[in-house]
Amino acid sequence: MILPELAEDLGYLGSVKLKWVGNTISGPQDIQAVATGQVDFGGAFDGAIAKLVTAGAPIKAVISYYGSDTSSYNGFYVLDTSPIRTARDLIGKKVGVNTLGGHNEAVLYTYLRRQGLSNDEIKQVQLVALPPVNTEQALRQRQIDVAALTDVFQDQAVARGGVRLLFSDSQLFGSFTAGSYVFRTRFLEENPDTVRQFVAGVAKAIVWTQTTPRDQVIARFTKIIQKRHRNESAATLRYWKSTGIVSKGGLISDADFSRWENWLVQTGSITPGRLKPSDIYTNQFNPYASGAG
């Protein structure tokens, strides 16, 4: 379920129509498809967007679409019987993440640095890219030592028992917005009214999820999944808690990108001083930026 589909179902997109062309395996791949013109919009972790824009990709973030709070967060889990208790215990261990260069990698790096590990020690923590649907199984079969889990994959693993939370991104940063939808800059220039209508609709959908009782949100999501006929099960929606977005209407801030600057610099993705949030995002299409709502 993605927020633009909810916005369309609620009637918030007006004349803008969505066309589903398929799924990608990660946020970085999603926004790369935008940069190359394969799709019109896509979403990814803000750190990945910052990296791509700084490298010269002609894209710009226009609205937030996910985050972490006390209800919905990215957690790093170990087995109950695991001896791993601290960051230093992760040296030489394998950590399963959904993709390299994404949210989980940035959060893990931040955790290790805050706990005093050097860059040489951090390099000894091995990241293993796994499809989220397989990460829990890999942990239970001891193919990895730590599993980065979120959304229904996290809830299902916790419900089955035998796992323990080592740390979460919300413990490191508090509640924060973490990912945004992007468009190509040329698309923004040539279709400003379409983008404005899209962003306004998604912004209203975000507020709808923030102000509507949880059971009603789940019921709406279920209806959308059932009518889009993609051979999917809506059973896991019972675990839904929130989008994690903390800003009104998905407004983006400088901090959403600057928070990842140290990780990007230390891992060689950007050079010091190159990250300029004003080059990465704009709130000009979001009605909540002016208080209009």
> Do 151 and 103 touch, CB atoms closer than 8 A?
no
> Do 232 and 225 touch, CB atoms closer than 8 A?
yes
Q: What superfamily would CATH give domain 3-69+175-286?
A: Periplasmic binding protein-like II (3.40.190.10)
Residue 125 — very low, low, confident or very high, per pLDDT cuts 50/70/90?
Answer: very high
The whole-model pTM stands at: 0.89
Q: How far apart are CA 290 and CA 293, in angstroms?
A: 8
For domain 75-173, give the fold: D-Maltodextrin-Binding Protein; domain 2 (3.40.190)
Q: Would 3-69+175-286 and 75-173 be classified into the same CATH topology?
A: yes
> How do residues 231-271 score in pLDDT, each as one tens digit?
677 777 887 888 889 999 999 999 999 999 999 998 889 98
**Residue 9: Cβ within 10 Å count:** 17
| 165-184 mean pLDDT | 95
> Do 87 and 112 touch, CB atoms closer than 8 A?
yes
| 45-62 mean pLDDT | 93
**Residue 174: Cβ within 10 Å count:** 11
| 24-41 mean pLDDT | 81
Residue 36 — very low, low, confident or very high, per pLDDT cuts 50/70/90?
Answer: confident
- pLDDT of res. 170: 94
Domain boundaries, the chain: 3-69+175-286, 75-173
Identity at 267, one-letter amino acid code: T
Q: How far apart are CA 118 and CA 96, in angstroms?
A: 21
Sign of torsion over alpha carbons 107, 210, 16, 19: positive
| 161-174 mean pLDDT | 96
